[in-house]
Each structure stands twice: as C-alpha cells, then as structure tokens.
Structure 1
C-alpha cells in the first residue's frame, strides 16, 4: 500500500474495527504469477490474533492455500468523491477519500472438522450481531455435509497496513467538511445504488 505519511494509520484498534465493521475481505494469493482473488467474510480472532475464514473447495483459489503460503486480505471501508466546493480554503483540487486495511500473513489450514464447525458457529454469531436472530447449532445435520466441501483456514498476521485518506493534510474546517461529506454520501449513495440494482 502506498505509504503516504499523511494517510498511514498505525492505531491497531482502528484497523481491527474496520475488519469487524466491514468483514467481507478480498483474499489475494498467486498462482503461476497471476493473482487470484476471492471475496469472503473473515472474523478477527481476538484470542489468537488471527483472521479466520473458509473457502469452497471447488474454488480454484483453494489450491493455492498451502500451509505457510503468504496471502493478503484487503478490507475496504467507506469511500467517496470529495468536491473542492465543500472546502473553505480556496484553490483545492478534487480528490477521493477512503478507508482501507491490508493484512499480509501466513496461511494455516484447519483440517479438524470440529474446529471448522466451531469457526462457522463463531462467524455466524459475530455476523448476526447483537440481535442473534439465527443461531447455528453444532448438531445441525447440514453442518456435517457442508464441512466436507469447505477448507477452513486462519491467517497468522505478519503485516498490518492501514490507509485512512481523510484529508488530514487540510485545515481542521476542511477536514470536518470532508468527514460530513463521507458520512452523507456513503449513506445516500449506497441506498440509491442498492435500489437500482434490484430494479428491473
């Protein structure tokens, strides 16, 4: 990740919060000098300090997940276009603000079916949030079948990279205006976009 000093985020708690709020990561590995990318949810295990996920064994990327293989996971937070019209200071140029976290680490395969089931239960519990409208039970008969078609794995994190491009090089007033724009545009544009995708 391009390390512009203005935008580097080193606060580990903030980086973890991005992963927890936006858990759908982009898993990146390499095969035959070509990148393979899969979008899958991850959970951050606060005890082992690892990322945990599972992948369909029919996915070609599965074959790149060998014990000790290096992988990168990209988590993308909110982003939006910033118009110079919102700045109080003059002579500014358009830009794009965003929040992103890149995690690099080593793959460790989890081949124990019971541990794999527990990881699925933990992920479901986390993703269900505080309401917990659905509880995945370990004795669910579908689990016994499903666990044979997935590969559960964890990533031992060796490198954290956070880039929070939030106009930190601007005045306090301009930073506040861009924060408001990021919040407003993210909420409005996502709602409108989702509606457009479902529209016939």
Structure 2
C-alpha cells in the first residue's frame, strides 16, 4: 500500500488494536485466475500472529485457501473529505482515512479448530448484547449443520501495513483548522477523524 512517511503508523500494537476494533474487513485472494473479494468479519489472535475467519461454502473464495496461497485482508476505519477551503493558503482538497493491510499465507481449518474460531467470534460480538447467545446454547444438530455449510481459515501473518492519513503533513495552524471544521459536521466519520487527528500531530 502506498503510504508516505508522514502517514505511516510504526507502532504495531496500535495497528493490532485497530484490527480488533474494526474486525469487519475485505479478504482478497485469487480464484481461478481472477481476483476475488469477500466482505467478512475476521479476528486477530491474542499474540497478533494469526487472522481467522470463515466463508460460506457457496463462496468460491475457499478454493484459494489451499497451497498456503498469499492473501490480503483490508480493514477500513473512519474516513472523510477534507475541503481545501479550510487551509490558509491555496491547496487541493483531499481525503483523510485510516486503513490497514494484512498479508499472509492462508490455510483451511475444520473440525475443532473451526468450532473454536466460531466460538471466539461469537463470544467477542455477543459480549455487547443484553442477552448473549453462546455456542453452548445452540443445539448440536444446528451447530453441526452450520459447520458443514462453512469453510474456516487461518492466515499466518507475514506483514502489516498501516496508513493513518490525518493531515500530519500540515502545519499546526492548518491541522487545527481542519479539526475545527470536521467537528462542525453532522457526519460521524468526520468526528471520528477529528478525534484521531488530535492523537496524531503534524510532523513538520
């Protein structure tokens, strides 16, 4: 991913935390000679070395899970338009955003590994629900029926690239002006970017 030095996120712990907070991503692989994208939730292991997830057996992306093929997982955070009218000088408009790319070799998981992957995912997201559903609360027949309909995977991560494009290349005055205008917006993405900009100050 093209990322100028101003916008690189060097702290791997920050990148891993971002993935955990924005787990719905895009898995890109090659299927029968063509690029294939699947929009799915993925989960990072406790040590940050493995991404796991699953697809429907009807989604032919699982055909790329053999032979330890390299795949790309993309996680997108908040993003918003930046007007050039917010600067104190002539400039072009742009877009601020946070994105993480994860590369690695993929393999299929099944049986107990798939069950545990689904359980971990369910426990993570049901933890925020008033009456959480657990794998143990579902009938064995129902669970096994769904296990047969899914193909699980694990990605052994080889590298991660994080782009935090938050106007760090602007001086303090223009950086603050952008934040002020974003905070006046009714858009949730604009407010999220403004908050992130406060954590990432200009580097010039």
CA contact (8 A) 2:86 2:178 kept: yes
Kindly tell me the number of residue pairs found equivalent between the two proteins: 188
1:144 to 1:32, Cα distance in 2 relative to 1, 3 A? closer
Provide the residue aligned with 1:23 in structure 2: 23
Q: From the superposition, tell whether residues 83 and 21 of structure 1 become closer, same or farther in structure 2 (CA, over 3 Å).
A: same
Structure 1 runs of 4+ with >2 Å offset: 128-133, 173-186
Q: What are structure 2's unaligned runs of at least 5 residues?
A: 192-204
Give ranges in structure 1 of 5+ residues lacking alignment. 191-200
SS of 1:134 mapped into structure 2: coil
Instruction: Note closer, same or farther for the CA distance 1:5–1:180 as it changes in structure 2 (3 Å cut).
Output: same
Output the TM-score relative to the length of structure 2: 0.83
Q: Secondary structure at the match of 1:78?
A: strand
RMSD: 2.2
Could you tell me the TM-score, scaled by structure 1's length?
Answer: 0.84
CA distance in 2 between counterparts of 1:101 and 1:83 reads 24
- Cα offset, 1:180, TM superposition: 5.1
1:1-200 equivalences in 2 (<5 Å): 1-47=1-47, 49-87=49-87, 89-111=88-110, 113-131=111-129, 133-138=131-136, 140-141=138-139, 142-179=142-179, 181=181, 184=185, 186-187=187-188
Change (3 A) 1:47 1:169: closer
After the TM superposition, which of the residue ranges 138-147 and 164-173 deviates more from structure 2? 138-147
CA distance in 1, matches of 2:99, 2:189: 20
